[in-house]
Structure 1
């Protein structure tokens, strides 16, 4: 990762990952709220009755989200495994010089890629296989991946300049908050705020990865003075602007998706869209709505 491209690639992955989760969480939440309001308007009781009315679809967070185009295939876990494998192999290949493993920083990056790849394996296991003996293993694996990434970042700063240390410490705090948000989401699956909090911090991690690359390797700007206090203050200001910008972006996307769901016509359309965004890709809307109550 000792280049701008080395920071751009993982940053882009986290930005895309967070964007996908933000879109999925907002859509599933607004669909659930719309279906709940529809059921109440029709005098539903919130459970399957003798007349065959569907269960009331309350929102429920999931660690990974299905692709509506292929709900029976755990695409998110597959994409995680493929991308982290590419990153792992890239770090492994570039770690050698004259046949000797000399770049030990690459070993840290390889460990990080492996941890997130393992998270993808558990995403697939939880979504495709029988219910595991221990619940929420996909959440635990993802939280562990963030925790390991934070640990690796914390011991990645020896001998660096003050500005370099500062921007990486801001990244360290962000990664720790990603792990905390994942654990909180696991504990409060019925609340949408922890899921959005996880998307927020993952996107912040991605944009700050790119910002670190631009500060330390200046592909388009003049070099930063890495020993200047004023430059360190500017870096902190940039971090705050990243936070505010992502918050405003998420608010705007939420408003757009809420407006889109409100414009949907027909109760069946709402229910079936909700079905496609549930983690198991059930065969019927009736089964989909029942899954939200499990």
Structure 2
């Protein structure tokens, strides 16, 4: 769907997962650091991964159905024999993108089943999903729409960057910097899809931005990196908050009273030890 709603839905998909990862991975790193040998911590991490995979597969299925069965969608028709033309190839391309993310969600779930999938396969599927998404945008024929092509070219920077990071994660498992890089680039994809929606399909009506104005291209190139700058600031705040929580909170997942409060651990609690008074020896 090349509409405001279609781009907004895609943007929301990437924003949700990017923001979730920006919170999940610092939390996961903190749990592993403070509870290295705690089985309960491992179960919490497993629960988060399975839930994430389920939501990813559900969103991907919803995206596939939306691209196919919207009122002006192809309704599973790929080629029209009567007109001898392809039917809504843009919808099919977006459907292909969602399909690979659906595969990634399924692998996330199967990674914790008795099938014992190879370690790193989940990250490999994320990399393949991103690579297919970036290729679809890069090789798409925009039919002379210069500004539209430029918008999606900028988006491809975030997509291929995230694909490279996810591929490195196949070999460098649980690397916090690579995980946060992937999260930031997913957020960038989400915010940029919203930017594309506002530029090409303004919700308040009227035509989109001029395709021929070179100033629009220059401004949007700057805006792309402004998006990324704001995202990095948000990620820094989340990282500092997690660091403060890990320094100030004691995690005890084996008991009901878990002393982990992410809302109240914004500063380190100073604890002082009362001096021990030793008895004075009486002089003889």
Task: State the TM-score, normalized to the length of structure 2.
Answer: 0.77
Rounded Cα–Cα distance in structure 2 between residues aligned with 1:90 and 1:71: 28
Structure 2 match to 1:8:
8
- Residues 248 and 181 (structure 1 numbering): CA distance in 2 closer, same or farther, change over 3 Å? same
Aligned residue number for residue 49 of structure 1: none
- What's 1:200 paired with? 184
Quote the residue 1:82 is aligned against.
58
Alignment of 1:108 with 2:93, yes or no, is yes
- Per-residue deviation at 1:261? 2.7
Check whether the contact 1:204–1:246 (CA below 8 A) recurs between aligned residues.
yes
Aligned partners of 1:271 and 1:130: how far apart in 2? 31
Q: Deviations over 1:209-253 (max 9, x none)?
A: 111111111224874222111111110111010010000000011
Which of structures 1 and 2 has the larger relative contact order (alpha carbons within 8 angstroms, sep 6+)? 1
Partner Cα separation in structure 2 for residue 18 and residue 66 of structure 1:
22
8 Å CA contact 1:15–1:202 kept in 2: the answer is yes
Matched, 1:91 2:67: yes
In structure 1, the residue matched to 2:151 is 167
Aligned length: 245
C-alpha distance in 1, partners of 2:210/2:106? 43
Unaligned runs of 5+ in 1: 37-53, 56-64, 274-294
Structure 2 unmatched runs, 5+: 81-85, 259-284
Structure 1 residues 154, 72: CA separation in 2 closer, same or farther (over 3 Å shift)? closer
Distance 1:83 1:146, change over 3 A: same
Q: Provide the C-alpha distance between the structure 2 equivalents of 1:240 and 1:256, rounded to a whole number of angstroms.
A: 24
CA contact (8 A) 1:31 1:270 kept: no
The answer as to whether partners of 1:14 and 1:203 remain within 8 angstroms in 2 is yes
Structural mapping, 1:254-293, within 5 Å? 254-265=239-250, 268-269=252-253
The aligned residue for residue 281 of structure 1 is none
Q: CA–CA distance in 2 between the matches of 1:67 and 1:204? A: 28
Structure 1 position 263, deviation (Å): 2.6
Question: 1:98-144: per-residue Cα shift (whole Å, max 9, x none)?
Answer: x8672121111111111110111111111223322x43211111111
Contact 1:225 1:231 in 2 (8 A): yes
Cross-structure match for 1:149: 133
Q: Counterpart of 1:2 in 2: which secondary structure?
A: coil
- Counterpart Cα distance in 1 of 2:170 and 2:135: 21
Taking structure 1 as reference, are residues 221 and 27 closer, same or farther at Cα in structure 2, changes over 3 Å only?
Answer: farther
* C-alpha distance in structure 1 between counterparts of 2:93 and 2:188, whole Å: 21
SS of match in other structure, 1:159 = coil
Equivalent position of 2:161 in the other structure: 177
The separation in 1 between residues aligned to 2:65 and 2:171, in whole angstroms, is 35
Pair member with larger Rg: 2
CA RMSD of aligned residues (A): 2.9
